């Protein structure tokens, strides 16, 4: 049981790290997409975005998935795979992962053209991970549709 609790703790740490990046990266995009930026400012944003994705977000997302799967298939857990809350949660985590991939795409396009989307678009996009996170946490804690 102790091993299971360590896996659970590291899963939560990975989720927090991933979500910190998912909430911060679109905010960087807001600043990066400013039409008045100098070349040096854009290069700084490009470096910050690259490091956030490569060194924090990507490893945290991978650990979230690996440790989450380990928890689901752990002998200590008796998950009912017919539970709708778990199915909905997994679908939302897949959507969050897709959003993560979309953020990577946005970063690449911003490098080529920092005005391809407006700052307003990125402010709006910044809310998507928050909404997904709220729903996912409620599903995990409350377990509706059980």
Phi, psi of 118 (to 5 degrees): -80, 165
Number of neighbouring beta carbons within 10 Å of residue 78: 6
pLDDT tens readout for residues 10-51: 999 999 999 999 999 999 999 999 999 999 999 999 999 999
Q: What pLDDT was estimated at residue 144? A: 87
Name the percent of the chain lying above pLDDT 70: 95
- Nearest CA to 97 out of 129, 125, 68, 67 is that of 129
Alpha helices in 1-146 (DSSP H): 2-32, 39-51, 58-72, 84-112, 119-125, 127-142
Going by pLDDT thresholds of 50, 70 and 90, the confidence category of residue 59 is very high
pLDDT at 78 > cutoff 70: no
pLDDT at 80 > cutoff 90: no
pLDDT tens readout for residues 62-73: 999 999 999 988
* Rounded CA separation 7/9 (Å): 5
* Rounded CA separation 141/146 (Å): 12
pLDDT at 81 > cutoff 90: no
Averaged over 57-66, what is the pLDDT? Answer: 98
CB-based burial label for 129 (10 Å; 0-12, 13-18, 19+): buried
Q: What pLDDT was estimated at residue 85? A: 87
- Nearest CA to 26 out of 104, 111, 97 is that of 104
pLDDT at 146 > cutoff 80: no
């Amino acid at each position: 049981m102790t091993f299971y609790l360590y896996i659970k703790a590291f899963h939560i740490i990975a989720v927090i790290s991933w979500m910190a990046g998912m909430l911060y990266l679109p905010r960087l995009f807001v600043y990066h997409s400013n039409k008045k930026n100098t070349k040096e400012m854009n290069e700084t944003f490009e470096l910050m975005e690259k490091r956030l994705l490569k060194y924090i977000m990507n490893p945290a997302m991978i650990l979230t998935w690996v440790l989450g799967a380990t928890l689901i298939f752990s002998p200590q857990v008796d998950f009912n795979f017919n539970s709708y809350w778990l199915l909905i949660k997994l679908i939302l985590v897949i959507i969050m992962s897709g959003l993560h991939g979309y953020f990577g795409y946005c970063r690449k396009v911003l490098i080529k053209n920092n005005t391809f989307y407006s700052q307003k678009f990125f402010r709006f996009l910044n809310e998507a991970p928050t909404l997904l996170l709220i729903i996912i946490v409620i599903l995990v804690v409350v377990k509706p549709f059980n």
